[in-house]
Amino acid sequence: MKIVVLCGGLSPEREVSLASGKMVAEALAHRGHEVALVDLSDDVPVGIPFGAEFVPKPRHELSGREIGDGIIELCRRSDAVFPALHGGVGEDGRLRAALDLFGIRCAGAEFLSCAIAMDKQLSKTLMRVAGVTVPRGTALSKGDPIKRSDVKFPCVIKPNCGGSSVGVAFADNESELAIALETAFDVTDKVVIEEKLIGRELTVGIVNGRALPAVEIKPKVGFYDYKNKYTPGATEEICPAPLTDAEASRLCRSAIAAASAVGTTALCRVDFILSGGIFYCLEINALPGMTETSLLPLAAKTAGMDFPQLCEEILKTAF
């Protein structure tokens, strides 16, 4: 089949996406597909051949458009699109909605589910209704006053939309909270403030409705931030996670319930923290990383699925 792998874009997670795209394109080519790997925010010449060499431009050389000229036309020439994008228009459902308008098949969750997953406040509201335990917290828009009764220290401050732990900060008191909010509101208009939970970090990947083995995440220094996620050797990742059978089963059910509530059972990764014997769902990633340090490929490998097979399985969701 002719497959377009979209990567890059203009989000803060651009570099991670470029790495994911390269690996996905190589894997799908290995499986016998004709692949065009392109930068979502770059302009593509009319008639670009599948299999052409891809050399990403520096961000400052891009036009600044979320979707470059010729991208939709190239996708219309394909049998399906594989989005290897993280953050921004690539992950928040807007790209998927645009492709749907042109009748272009696209792997992964549907556009509305992607939009909900990207919105931490909305997704947790739906998960809570579905019976999934989530941390206590509140959302705050830029310019809104803080209700002190809604904030319990220590707490964690996160952009309401975004991934890869970009912009995450912790606060133990009001002065640290004020600094964290000032920094956050320089880059986002809405944040969530949640209780800081101490415990074991775990994640469960879901592909085509199937939950993969859980991974335990143990950063060697600090928390699981952008640096620890993408620096080889910075984090110990244990798969399958050392859980009892009962715990593993409970975690799997919680992950499926969370993904079902948001509508991302086609593809996602669900992040948890195990604290006080309770699995708290932290967030859902509708387009998990596909780099050499990413967790979804690790879980798939533990389940007996190599990287090209994983990419093929994700590609099936387009059909």
> How far, CA to CA in Å, does 109 sit from each of 264, 268, 284?
5, 8, 12
Which of the residues 9, 163, 283, 294 is marked catalytic?
A: 283
Phi-psi region of 258 (alpha: psi -120 to 50; beta: other; left: phi over 0): alpha
Active site residue 164: yes
Among the listed residues 90, 271, 280, 294, the single catalytic one is 271
Element spanning 202, H or E = strand 200-207
13 flagged as catalytic: yes
CA distance 208 to 123: 20
CA angle 53, 25, 50 (to 5 degrees): 50
Angle, helix 245-262 to helix 120-129, in steps of 10 degrees: 120
**Active site residue: 8, 9, 11, 13, which one?**
13
266 is written with which tokens?
């086609």
Query: Choosing from 230, 254, 280, 294, which is the catalytic residue?
Result: 230
- 162 Cβ contact partners less than 8 Å away, ≥ 6 residues apart: 11, 12, 87, 118, 188
Residue 230 bears catalytic tag:
yes
Q: Which of 162, 205, 289, 294 is catalytic?
A: 289
Closest-CA residue to 113 (of 302, 265, 278): 265
Strand order of the β-sheet with 155-159 is 137-141, 190-195, 155-159, 169-171
Q: Is 271 a catalytic residue?
A: yes
Catalytic residue among 164, 228, 254, 294: 164
Find out whether 123 and 284 touch, Cβ atoms under 8 Å.
yes
Catalytic residues: 13, 164, 230, 269, 271, 283, 285, 289
